[in-house]
Amino acid sequence: QQPVQSPQAVILREGEDAVINCSSSKALYSVHWYRQKHGEAPVFLMILLKGGEQKGHDKISASFNEKKQQSSLYLTASQLSYSGTYFCGTGNLDSNYQLIWGAGTKLIIKP
Amino acid sequence: DVKVTQSSRYLVKRTGEKVFLECVQDMDHENMFWYRQDPGLGLRLIYFSYDVKMKEKGDIPEGYSVSREKKERFSLILESASTNQTSMYLCASSPRPRENWYEQFFGPGTRLTVL
Q: Using a pLDDT cut of 90, give the percent of chain A over it.
A: 60
- Nearest residue on chain A to B97, judged by CA atoms? A97
HSE, side-chain direction, 13 A CA sphere, residue A30? 20
Length reported for chain B: 115
- Is the pLDDT confidence value at A95 over 90? no
Q: Which tens digit of pLDDT belongs to each residue from B17-54?
A: 999 999 999 999 989 999 999 988 889 999 999 889 99
What pLDDT does A58 receive?
73
Spatial separation of the C-alpha atoms in residues B74 and B70, rounded to whole Å? 8
Q: Which tens digit of pLDDT belongs to each residue from A12-70?
A: 999 999 999 999 988 888 899 999 998 899 999 998 888 766 666 778 999 998 888 99
What pLDDT does A39 receive?
86
CA distance B46 to chain A (A): 11
Is the Cβ pair A49, B42 closer than 8 Å? Answer: no
Of B4, B6, B29, B43, which to mutate for an interface test with A (greatest number of A Cβ within 10 Å)? B43
- Nearest residue on chain A to B41, judged by CA atoms? A103
Burial A11-35 (b: 16+ CB within 10 A, else e): ebeeeeebebbbbbeeebbbbbbbb
What pLDDT does A76 receive?
92
Q: Which tens digit of pLDDT belongs to each residue from B63-113?
A: 999 999 999 999 999 999 999 999 999 999 988 755 556 788 999 999 999
Q: Is A55 on the interface with B (CB under 8 A)?
A: no
CA distance A34 to chain B (A): 9
Cα separation values, B88 from B37, B42, B77, B114, Å: 5, 11, 14, 11
Specify the DSSP element, H or E, that contains B13. Answer: strand B10-13
What pLDDT does B43 receive?
92
From start to end of chain A, where are the E strands? Answer: 4-6, 9-13, 18-23, 30-36, 43-49, 55-57, 60-65, 70-75, 84-91, 100-101, 105-110
CA distance B59 to chain A (A): 9
Beta bridge partners of B54: B51
